[in-house]
Amino acid sequence: MITLLRWWLIFSLMVVGTSISVYFGIHVQLYNSDVTHLSFFILAITLVTSLWIGVKTYQFNIKRDFSYSIEVGWFIAEACLVLGMIGTVTGFLLMLGTAFANIDVTNSLTLQQALSDMAIGMSTALWTTLVGLICSLILKVQLINFESGN
């Protein structure tokens, strides 16, 4: 039963953290900064997987069946990390691929546009990396909790 309570604590802290982020408008900044919106996909995967881990934890505590396998959870946790890295690469491609295409070094407007394009790519890279790392860590903590209860 303690495993289920620990999962509930982890999930509750995740909800509180999300609420604080929404209160401070981080979701709006994330939406505007991540042009791929891959971060929201990672967040959705994390929410669904967290609930799945909670159901598995609940089922284990009731049936005490040691045959529950959650290797899929470990795969999804790593997939969140990989999706964050894919967002990083995509952001760098956006930053470097389009920023220097139409630069005229004698015209300050094209330089300003290039810097603006670079900022969009860099923000995409950094946000997706951050979200992927945090979501992967949250899932791994829940999975370790589940395995320590077995």
CA pair distance 60, 1, nearest whole angstrom: 9
Contacts of 52 (CB under 8 A, 6+ apart): 73
Percent composition of the chain: helix, strand, coil (DSSP 3-state, to 5)? 85, 0, 15
Contacts of 1 (CB under 8 A, 6+ apart): 61
Using alpha carbons, list the distances in angstroms from residue 117 to 5, 6, 88, 121: 47, 44, 15, 6
Domain boundaries of the chain, sorted by first residue: 2-149
* pLDDT band, residue 150 (cuts 50/70/90): low
pTM of the model: 0.85
Q: Could you read off the pLDDT of 59-104 as tens digits, one per residue?
A: 887 777 666 678 899 999 999 999 999 999 998 888 887 666 667 6
Q: Could you read off the pLDDT of 30-64 as tens digits, one per residue?
A: 999 888 999 999 999 999 999 999 998 888 877 77
